[in-house]
Amino acid sequence: MTVRRISDWPTWSWRSPFRELERMRKEMDRLFEDLTEGIFREPRAGVYPLVNVTEGSDDYYVRAELPGIKAEDLDISVTGNSISIAGERKIPAEDEKAKYHRREREAGKFSRIISLPAQVDTARVEASCVDGILTVVLPKSEAAKPKQIAVKTM
Amino acid sequence: MAQRDPEALQAKGKREMKPTAEQTKPGPTFNPAVDIFETDREITLLADMPGVKAKDLNIDLHENVLTLTGEVEPPERTEEVDVLREYQIGTYYRQFTLSEVIDQSKIDAELKDGALRLTMPKVEAAAPRKITVKTR
Residues A15 and A80 in one domain: no
CA nearest to B33, candidates B84, B86, B77, B70? B70
Is 60 exceeded by the pLDDT of residue B29?
A: yes
The verdict on whether omega for the bond into residue B75 sits within 30 degrees of 0, i.e. cis, is: no
Residues A26 and A74 in one domain: no
Question: Which pLDDT belongs to residue B13?
Answer: 74
Range(s) of the domain holding residue A125: 51-92+107-144
Residue A27, in any domain of the structure: yes
Is 50 exceeded by the pLDDT of residue B89?
A: yes
ipTM > 0.85 (yes/no): no
CA nearest to A111, candidates B49, B3, B51? B3
Question: Which pLDDT belongs to residue A39?
Answer: 57
Min CA distance, B24 vs chain A (Å)?
A: 19
Residues A69 and A125 in one domain: yes
Residues A1 and A71 in one domain: no
Residues A34 and A64 in one domain: no
Residue A3's pLDDT band (cuts 50, 70, 90): low
Please name the residue of chain B whose CA is at the shortest distance from the CA of residue A42.
B86
A63 CB contacts (<8 Å, ≥6 apart)? A51, A52, A53, A54, A133, A134, A135, A136, B75, B76
When the candidates are 1.20.140.10, 3.40.50.10540, 2.60.40.790, 1.10.3720.10, the CATH number that belongs to B26-75+86-121 is 2.60.40.790
Residues A29 and A59 in one domain: no
Q: A29: which DSSP letter?
A: H
CA nearest to B69, candidates B131, B105, B25, B100? B25
- Cβ–Cβ under 8 Å, residues B115 and A70: no
Residue A85, in any domain of the structure: yes
CATH number, position A83: 2.60.40.790
A41-96: pLDDT as tens digits: 655 566 888 899 999 888 999 999 999 998 889 999 998 889 999 999 988 888 88
Residue A99, in any domain of the structure: no
pLDDT: is B16 or A13 the higher one? Answer: B16
B58-78: pLDDT as tens digits: 999 888 889 999 999 888 888
Question: Which pLDDT belongs to residue B1?
Answer: 44
Residue A63, in any domain of the structure: yes
Our CA dihedral for A99, B95, A104, B41, rounded to 10 degrees, sits at -20
Distance CA A89, CA A106 (A): 8
Beta strands in A56-125 (DSSP E): 59-65, 74-79, 82-89, 99-103, 108-115
**Minimum-distance CB partner of A67 among B5, B13, B49:** B49
How far is the first Cα of chain A from the last one, in angstroms, to the nearest whole number? 68
Is 70 exceeded by the pLDDT of residue B2?
A: no
Residues A73 and A137 in one domain: yes
Residues A56 and A34 in one domain: no
CB contact under 8 A, A99 and B38: yes
CA nearest to B98, candidates B121, B67, B66, B124? B66
Cβ atoms < 10 Å from Cβ of B109: 14
Across chain A, mean pLDDT equals 82
- As for how many domains chain A has, the answer is 2
B96-136: pLDDT as tens digits: 998 777 888 889 999 999 999 999 988 876 455 677 888 87
Residues A60 and A132 in one domain: yes
Question: Which pLDDT belongs to residue A136?
Answer: 94
**Minimum-distance CB partner of A40 among B9, B79, B85:** B85
Name residue B62's beta-bridge partners: B65
Model pTM?
0.73
Mutate to test the interface with B, among A47, A131, A137, A138 (most CBs of B within 10 A): A131
pLDDT: is B35 or B16 the higher one? Answer: B35
Is 60 exceeded by the pLDDT of residue A2?
A: no
Min CA distance, A140 vs chain B (Å)?
A: 14
Residues A125 and A56 in one domain: yes
Write the burial class of residue A106 (CB in 10 Å: 0-12 exposed, 13-18 middle, 19+ buried). Answer: middle
